[in-house]
Amino acid sequence: MDVQIFGTLGCTDTRKALRFFSERRVKAHFVDLKERAASKGELRRFAQKFGVAALIDRASKRFEARGLRQAHYGEARWLELLGEEPLLLETPLVRRGNDLTVGAAEDTWRGWTSD
């Protein structure tokens, strides 16, 4: 089993995800969002399952710095912004095949590793 983790090393939840899978000897491919943004297709996949609103980290410094507190964009515009500004994403985004999670979801990950 392989997983793909999108996040930043500065995010505690991302580090928890990396440690969780490492402790269980699950191969994790890490994508550092500070170096490379997630593709539009990847973002669309997460948005289809959870909705665009679940992908936005409204508590992030970048969200405040961009002045998005009062923004009322449609889903397409938010997806475009998330592609341009990956630090606006709620992290970690974890994918195992067609299984997806947003944020720390250790209970779900435990289910994946017990298969």
Cβ atoms of residues 106 and 19 within 8 Å: no
Question: What token pair was written down for 4?
Answer: 């793909």
As assigned by CATH, the class of the 2-113 domain is alpha beta
**CA atoms of 34 and 70, how far apart (whole Å):** 25
Question: What token pair was written down for 101?
Answer: 């999670």
pTM: 0.89
- Please, is 32 exposed, middle or buried when counting C-beta atoms within 10 Å of its C-beta (0-12, 13-18, 19+)? middle
| Residuewise pLDDT in 10s, the chain (115 residues) | 799 999 999 999 999 999 999 999 999 999 999 999 888 899 999 999 999 999 998 988 888 888 888 888 888 898 999 988 899 999 999 999 999 999 999 999 999 988 6
Cβ atoms of residues 94 and 3 within 8 Å: yes
